Structure 1
Amino acid sequence: MTLSHGGGRLVSLHRYPLKSGAGEALSDVDVDRDGLAGDRVWACVDADDVLASAKKPGRFGRLLDVTARDTGTGGLTVTVPGAAPASTNDGTADAALSTWLDTPVRLTRTAPAGGRVHRWWPDEPGLIPEWMADARPGTDTTTPVGLEPGGRFFDFGPVHLVTTGALAALAGQHGAPVAAARFRPNLVLSLDHDPEPGQRLRIGPDLVLSVLVPTPRCVVPSLAQPGGVPADPRLLRTLARHHRMPVASYGRATCFGRYASVVEPGAVRVGDPVRS
């Protein structure tokens, strides 16, 4: 891998205390084998214990506008637009989210047994991975998720990264800039292109990541994002046209970014060097 001019750097850090909730920009954070401290610790589930996700935007897309903060006492404070903060500590958070989403949900730190997630398959057929052979464009489904008991609510790897080089290439393919926020990364790295699966990256003095697989994409990158990022349905076609690729032994999928595991934990700070 060729690092960008002057060496790669950690451009920005983000965590998502609530799965599908708004991101929290950080200047520094500790990263252990479970990922960034406080990342995707909580999730919403519906009355059937299926995970609520912006992957089904018609029902749960408004989660993207919900900010969430750790209370420091093992709970979570959530804030929906136009309302006062609500907390799991006093039992107000579930009601606030249910009202905001207009459907009953509850917050949990524990993955439901036989975990499933709500999902809508976009009308762009290239967004359906080969391993989802029964899925059809424009339909709603619930699909299994491999959540570990007591673990975080990750789709796959504990760390998700994108690179400035890949974003620049995507902007050329799309004919317009594409905000990193659309892909909800933990780390944005100033590298000329994405690292390959199996490659190791050292970030700062201690953290070492091992790149796992390309990150399969869903409808979320095309949705409006917090911070004034507007909806862009056309982006799905650009991704499907230019970023369909193999994902290990699973088959081909439309991907952008990389999942990574943590080989050596460590603290990182924005501006830290990235070395391969």
Structure 2
Amino acid sequence: MADMPKIVALWRFPLKSALGESLGAVEVEKNGLQGDRAWACIDDEDGMVGSAKHPRRWGRLLEVGTSLRRDELTVHVGGVALRAGSAAADAALTTHLGRPVRLSRTAPDDPRLHRVLPDDPGLVPEWMAGVGPGDETVSSVGGVGRLGRFADFGAVHIVTTGELARLGALLGGPAVAAARFRPNLVLDLPRDPEPGEELRLGDVVLRVDLPTPRCVVPGLGHGELPADRSVLGALARHYRIQVPDLGRAACFGAYADVVRPGRLRVGQLMH
């Protein structure tokens, strides 16, 4: 049993594009980990959802800590803990980000976000017609309609120890930190699971939907983790694959839907 694949880390990201919280155990609901991507930072000027996919506007969200307890979110801005939904939290984030913002659990009627495409053409997905490396564009927040959360698309985002080690080796070093990819689950597997695969973790059953297309975010700084643009270059050169029904894109990790909810814990074995 000791050699069976298992969960080596669990992460929840209560506020979109802010730092997540490492968990020992968590409830998984039909639309993802309980509390994951439940909040977003909304731009009061144009109504856009804050996303580090546009680093000049929103990159400093990756310096904001989060903790969720009994459905109440606390954000940590410049070392100060503030309750999400309070005027003080909105004021602190407005100062921190340099633009008027507010925290919200309710999505705008047409939830959209700004993004800047990476400079490497290998990181531009084929389905993004009419835009190229370094261009700015606007896209919908796909997870709002699918899941009722501020997720990009899938209910659960997975990366594996095997692919993190492979990517690190391609860069000439140790395994790349999982935090760069903002996953919910880090699984002790030699490769990313394929679309259609079912993953059974205790009572929870996940079905892999599609590989995760990557943006500029893995190359940015995440809290104390420094920026590293070489990660983006390696993804563009070595991880550009066919995404079913969409076209080629640089992908790392996988999105999965929840077939059967339940409770996950670190160390949980796959079966």
- After TM superposition, the score normalised by the length of structure 2 is 0.94
Deviates more, 1:178-187 or 1:139-148: 139-148
How far apart, in 1, do the equivalents of 2:59 and 2:164 lie? 24
How far apart, in 2, do the equivalents of 1:257 and 1:131 lie? 19
Q: Which amino acid aligns with 1:214?
A: P
Q: Which of the residues 94, 97, 117 maps onto 1:98?
A: 94
Instruction: Provide the residue aligned with 1:214 in structure 2.
Output: 211
The gaps in structure 1 that reach 5 residues or longer are none
Q: Is the Cα contact below 8 Å between 1:189 and 1:274 reproduced in 2?
A: no
**1:238-268 deviation digits (Å, cap 9, x = unpaired):** 1000000111201111100000000011101
- How far is the alpha carbon of 1:90 from its aligned partner? 3.5
- Alignment pair present for 1:238 and 2:244: no
Instruction: Provide the residue aligned with 1:265 in structure 2.
Output: 261
**1:197-240 deviation digits (Å, cap 9, x = unpaired):** 0000001x2000000000000011011112x3211111111100
Provide the secondary structure at the position in 2 that maps to 1:92: helix
Q: Which amino acid aligns with 2:29?
A: D
- Alignment pair present for 1:247 and 2:248: no
- How far is the alpha carbon of 1:150 from its aligned partner? 7.8
How far apart, in 2, do the equivalents of 1:69 and 1:10 lie? 21
Q: Which of the residues 79, 87, 96 maps onto 2:83?
A: 87
Instruction: Provide the residue aligned with 1:33 in structure 2.
Output: 30
How far apart, in 2, do the equivalents of 1:195 and 1:231 lie? 27
Q: Which amino acid aligns with 1:254?
A: A
Q: Is the Cα contact below 8 Å between 1:217 and 1:256 reproduced in 2?
A: yes
- Alignment pair present for 1:225 and 2:222: yes
Provide the secondary structure at the position in 2 that maps to 1:197: coil
Provide the secondary structure at the position in 2 that maps to 1:169: helix
How far apart, in 1, do the equivalents of 2:110 and 2:146 lie? 10
Note closer, same or farther for the CA distance 1:59–1:13 as it changes in structure 2 (3 Å cut). Answer: same
Q: Which amino acid aligns with 1:262?
A: V
The gaps in structure 2 that reach 5 residues or longer are none
How far apart, in 2, do the equivalents of 1:59 and 1:179 lie? 24
Q: Which of the residues 122, 130, 135 maps onto 2:131?
A: 135
- How far is the alpha carbon of 1:140 from its aligned partner? 2.0
Superposition pairs of residues 41-120 of structure 1, within 5 angstroms: 41-46=38-43, 47-70=45-68, 72=70, 75-82=72-79, 84-120=80-116
The root-mean-square deviation of aligned C-alpha atoms, in Å, is: 1.7
Instruction: Provide the residue aligned with 2:3 in structure 1.
Output: 6
Q: How many residues align?
A: 268
Note closer, same or farther for the CA distance 1:273–1:150 as it changes in structure 2 (3 Å cut). Answer: closer
Note closer, same or farther for the CA distance 1:272–1:45 as it changes in structure 2 (3 Å cut). Answer: same
Q: Which amino acid aligns with 1:248?
A: P
Q: Is the Cα contact below 8 Å between 1:94 and 1:106 reproduced in 2?
A: yes
Q: Is the Cα contact below 8 Å between 2:157 and 2:255 reproduced in 1?
A: yes
**1:58-103 deviation digits (Å, cap 9, x = unpaired):** 111010111123353x543211124x22223542111111110001
Instruction: Provide the residue aligned with 1:194 in structure 2.
Output: 192
Q: Is the Cα contact below 8 Å between 2:49 and 2:113 reproduced in 1?
A: yes
**1:91-135 deviation digits (Å, cap 9, x = unpaired):** 211111111000111111112122211111111111111111111
- How far is the alpha carbon of 1:12 from its aligned partner? 0.4
- After TM superposition, the score normalised by the length of structure 1 is 0.93
Provide the secondary structure at the position in 1 that maps to 2:58: helix
Q: Which amino acid aligns with 2:221?
A: A
Note closer, same or farther for the CA distance 1:56–1:198 as it changes in structure 2 (3 Å cut). Answer: same
Q: Is the Cα contact below 8 Å between 1:75 and 1:89 reproduced in 2?
A: no
